[in-house]
Amino acid sequence: MEDMIFYDRLQFAFTITFHYLFPQLTMGLSLIIVYFKWQYLRKKVEKFNDAAKFFMKIFAINFTMGVVTGIPMEFQFGTNWAKFSELTGGIIGQTLAMEGTFSFFLESSFLALFIFGEKLMGQKLHFLTGFLVFLGSWASGYLILATNAWMQHPVGYEILENGTFVLENFSALFSNPWLFPAFLHNQAASVVTSSFVVASIGAFYILNNRDVEYGKLFLKTGVVIGLVSSLLVAFPTGDWNAKNVAKYQPAAFAAMEGIFETEHAGSEIVLIGQPNMVEKKLDNKIAVPNVLSFLTYGRWDAQIQGMDQFEEDVLPDNVPALYYSYHIMVGLGTIFIGVMGLAVLFLLLGKLYKIKSLLWGIMFLFPFPYIANITGWYVAELGRQPWLVYGLLRTSDGVSPTVSSGNTLFTLIGFVGLYILLGLLFLVLVGKTIHQGPKPQIH
């Protein structure tokens, strides 16, 4: 049984990690595209319109990738996690079906109109189609987060005698206290990814001394939105989420913060250290006393439960991975604020476009928000272990009863091979679009 779960989990982790490379860009990018289009309507300067259309091309490539890697996500609930689907489909089926109905149709219909319909519709309607694409992609994020929030902190359900969860209160799914902070945190983080990509492409054009006017526009927009969104990710949204984890999933909180032992006079915050699961301590630890207690409860001496307070079978099953994911996310988030703060400072001083080293730094920074976003999701998902539905349904009880691990490994290998090909395609397409540049093509 253990082996079976391992490949099922690995396959889900792999396919969802790959899938989430794309939506995290499209959600944030759609907002930036709406901003460019709006600037064009206000100022009637062509470069804003070109920018909106250029990034919509990149959006479209990412959207396509999101669709083809998203279909397997939905199918895998049934194929690999059949028992989970059977027991909870009456609840999470609602939010997933709503995602299909409300957001994908909106996104795909108006994306086509935005790309092909500018001349037919006129500028105001063109702006509206862009706005509807944005609305569709954020609705999608909202409904997926609502699904995940229910798994993290189940509400509005009733459990029947045979173990099936049935819906008792539909609106509770949307007033879930887990949902709102998680949604805002996730969306802000997605804006970080897209603004860093926009800034990176801008820096690329400036450093190559081509399309410099566009480069400056992208860089300026990217760093300003990048700074704002990086700040929002940390405070207040990140703070809210950490408090939610401490409140609803104390075992996960202890593990992600690396608190092995309960300290009665207030917990330290760990900056660096490696979890040693044999001796139950952190090796090479650097920590600041009492800060974690203050950040979590607003009191320096508040007690935080350490991992010693929990039975083995309710602690996350991979503490080191959870701990590292969390620390990588937080560490990168802090660096983002620093770099973007510096960039905005030089922008205000009017020197940003001339400082080559900073431009190089910004250009190569774009992969890191992807890492921060992905590790952020690892924190949520590893922290939820060993549960699928927190406190109620164990991961080991959700797997498909009839699918053997041999079959799962076979399909996992297939997905890896296919996604490598897909990744290459993606790089070629985006590379080509950037190479062609934001200037309107003349036919």
* Residues 213, 154 contacting (CB under 8 angstroms): no
Q: 72, 154, 222, 376: which one contacts other proteins (CB under 8 A)?
A: 72
CB of 218 to other proteins, least distance (A): 18
Residues in 159-178 at the binding interface with other proteins, rule: CB under 8 A:
166-168, 170
- Residues in contact with other proteins, shown as a per-residue x/- string from 108 to 147 under the rule CB under 8 A: xxx-xx-xxx-xxx--------------------------
Kindly report the number of other CB atoms within 10 A of residue 78's CB atom.
13
* Residues 337, 227 contacting (CB under 8 angstroms): yes
- In 153-306, alpha helices (H): 179-207, 212-232, 239-248, 250-257, 291-297
Cα 418 from Cα 415, distance rounded (Å):
5
70-78, 261-269, 313-321, 339-347 -> range binding other proteins (CB under 8 A): 70-78
CB of 317 to other proteins, least distance (A): 23
CB of 123 to other proteins, least distance (A): 15
Residues in 369-428 at the binding interface with other proteins, rule: CB under 8 A:
400-404, 407, 410-411, 414-415, 418, 421-422, 425, 428
CB of 389 to other proteins, least distance (A): 14
- Angle 179-207/123-152 helices, nearest 10 degrees? 130
C-alpha radius of gyration, the chain, whole number:
23
Sequence letter at residue 147: T
Cα 22 from Cα 24, distance rounded (Å):
5
Q: 355, 429, 434, 439: which one contacts other proteins (CB under 8 A)?
A: 429
Q: 16, 17, 35, 57: which one contacts other proteins (CB under 8 A)?
A: 57
Q: Nearest CA to 189 among 215, 153, 225?
A: 225
Q: Nearest CA to 259 among 241, 240, 285?
A: 285
CB of 267 to other proteins, least distance (A): 41
Determine which helix (DSSP H) or strand (DSSP E) holds 320, and give its type and residue range.
Answer: helix 319-348
21-29, 90-98, 236-244, 356-364 -> range binding other proteins (CB under 8 A): 90-98
Q: 23, 28, 70, 306: which one contacts other proteins (CB under 8 A)?
A: 70
Which CB atom, from 66 or from 266, has the smaller least distance to other proteins? 66
